Amino acid sequence: MSKLILLFLLNCIPVFSQNAVETTYAFGHNGMELIVSNKNETIIINNFNAKMTIREDIAEKLLALYNENELINDSNIIVIGNEAKVTGKIIIEKKDKLTSVSFYYEKVEWNSGLMEVYKQPI
C-alpha cells in the first residue's frame, strides 16, 4: 500500500510543477537600442520598461518585424526572443526621413516559466 501511495505522489509532482510563476516589476530600462540608416530613412528602435538582459535581442526582432512591414501602429504585439516572449504596445512615429519605433513592455514570459508583468511605480 505504501508503494502505491509513493507512486501516486511521484506522478503528481510534474503536474503541479508546470505552473508558471507570475511576479511584477516596476523599474525597467528606457532608451534607444538601435539606430539604422539607409538611403530612404533613419529608423530608431526604442524600448521602454525593458528587461536589461533581453532588450537588445527584442530590439533586433522589432527591427526585423518593421522591415517586413509586420508592425501596426498603436497595437499590442508579441515578440519572441531567444530567452523570452515579450508582450507590449508598439507606437510608430514618422517625420520626414526619420522613423521612431517605440515598444513598451507589458509582460515578459521567460523560457524558464517565470512571467513578469510591468507595474507602474507609485
Query: Strand 42-50 relative to strand 29-37: parallel, antiparallel, unpaired?
Result: antiparallel
- Beta-bridge partner residues of 104: 48, 89
**pTM of the predicted model, to two decimals?**
0.80
59-109 per-position pLDDT tens digit: 999 999 999 999 999 999 999 999 999 999 999 999 999 999 999 999 999
Averaged pLDDT of the chain: 88
CA distances, 86 to each of 57, 68, 89 (Å): 11, 19, 10
What are the structural domain ranges in the chain?
A: 21-118
The answer on pLDDT for 18 being more than 90 is no
